[in-house]
Amino acid sequence: MPRGFVCQLHYQGGGSLLCQTSTGDSWRLPFAHAPPHVRIGHTVTFSLPSDQADLAVDLEVIQEKAAKPVPPISKQPSRKLQRSITRFHNAVLEEKLQMIETAEGVLSDLLNEVELDGDAICKLLCRCAGWLHAPGSFEAKDVAAAATEAAMVSRPSTPSDLQRRVRRLLILALSSLDLSDITTYQAVEIAVLYINQIIQLMQGKETLFSENRKSLAVRQWRQLQELLVASDAQHGPVKRKASDYPLEALKGKATRSKDRSAAIDGVYRPYERIRSLPAVYEAPDRVVLLKCSKCVERISTSWFLKHPNNGRIYALVPQHGHLTCGKSLGKKCPWISSDGTETCSDNFAHLDFCDHKNRRSRCKECGGREICPHNRHRSFCKECGGRSICHHNRQRSRCKDCGGGSICPHNRLRYGCPVCKPQARK
């Protein structure tokens, strides 16, 4: 049977074949119908009807389009990574310190969980990789400025080296991930390649990687290099074999979880860790309709939280809100109930209660991870330099000099202002 090469497909059906005669000449032959799996580039056999010799019929694929060679992965940062680089570079020193402290707190919470959340660690790594810069770059020059400002501001935990904390953050995140897992590697591939690119540019600088350099920065860069295994990472995760690592090194490493919260066909279902909590339960006979606060999108939920202290019932909703509106508007668009039922986001730390009926992370008797060595909430501890303490050594929300959120326009605490209270009642 004659053969042809599919060179054109029409939206309304049919297309054209590129055929070659015995003399070597090429000519195009139309066809009206083709199997649904035919694509441009397929080699097919066909037949010619006796009454119409210029139309191909009975097409059958004998050779699919040859797979194109996989292009080398671009070393240019992705759009999200580029935004992270730009946001950190354009921030002032205090904002950079706040960003790093927030990321350190999030990573600490993730690493202290009973079961590591690989998805969250991968996202945090991709976000923080853009904060890393080689020594001598525009970002490393902020070290001296950080030391100068730290001397002027009497805050106990103000760091003098931003990049040192960024490198330590990346080392902790990479140490908790199993990069030999293909799914995990693909999730952090852009971040890994970006860090590898910085390390490769620095390898020619003998002043940094020489054996006689024993500074903390050199040790951190070498540790990053060992974690990434730059020579293997350039060729993808297939080169990374689990047998290359000792068994003890692979224990406890996190991979991206396959079971996650999702709204399938308009029905919300939290992920397995949340479903296993004692305070969370499903009530199939009670369905709460949820609507996006910014659009007409609707979903339903039958999962609820019963608070162990007051017994109040809350409907569980996705903590990230409606992602479609969030991406287009650039902010979180929460789900709200249509019938006025109280809702609660599916944040594991907010739903996990201990035997003392407190949040496990905030329970002093259980030694929660949010309790500092001074037996206070870590974010509000002045001695630990908590994130909620401003540089005036006050709670940030109640500081008049910082313009805290609890300060009303009359320069008083909002809940105790005699002018704002009557207005709020109206």
Report domain extents, the chain.
3-63, 79-250, 262-351, 390-426
Phi then psi dihedrals of residue 131, to 5 deg = -85, -10
Candidate from 128-142, 210-224, 301-315 with smallest mean pLDDT: 128-142
User: Given pLDDT bands bounded at 50, 70 and 90, which one contains residue 205?
Assistant: low
User: Does this model's pTM top 0.85?
Assistant: no
pLDDT band at 282 (very low <50, low <70, confident <90, very high): very high
Residue in this structure with the two tokens 């020489």, named with its chain if needed = 210
Closest CA to 54 of 33, 27, 87: 27
257 confidence band (pLDDT: 50, 70, 90):
very low
Q: How confident is the model at residue 303 (pLDDT cuts 50, 70, 90)?
A: very high
Residue 9 or 364, more confident:
364
- C-alpha–C-alpha distance, residues 278 and 261, integer Å: 18
Answer yes or no: are the C-beta atoms of 374 and 383 closer than 8 Å.
yes
Residue 156 has pLDDT above 60, yes or no: no
Identify the CA nearest to 27 among candidates 35, 37, 19: 19
422 burial via Cβ count (<10 Å: 0-12, 13-18, 19+): exposed
**Is the model's pLDDT at 162 over the cut of 70?**
yes
Instruction: Give one word for 55, left, alpha or beta, with left for phi > 0 and alpha for psi -120 to 50.
Output: beta
User: Tokens standing for 322?
Assistant: 């409606």
* 3-class secondary structure, 129: helix
Pairing relationship of beta strands 288-292 and 335-337 according to DSSP bridges: antiparallel
Reported as a pLDDT band with limits 50, 70 and 90, residue 23 is low
Residue 281: pLDDT above 90? yes
For 372-425, the pLDDT digits (tens) are 888 888 888 888 888 888 888 888 888 988 888 888 888 888 888 888 876 555
CATH number of 3-63: 2.40.50
Residue 241 and residue 188 in contact, taking contact as beta carbons nearer than 8 Å: no
For strands 267-269 and 262-264, give the pairing: antiparallel
Tokens representing residue 149 in the block: 């400002």
Q: Which long-range contacts (CB under 8 A, 24 or more apart) does 144-148 make?
A: 145/93, 146/93, 146/97
Select the more confidently predicted residue: 315 or 83.
315
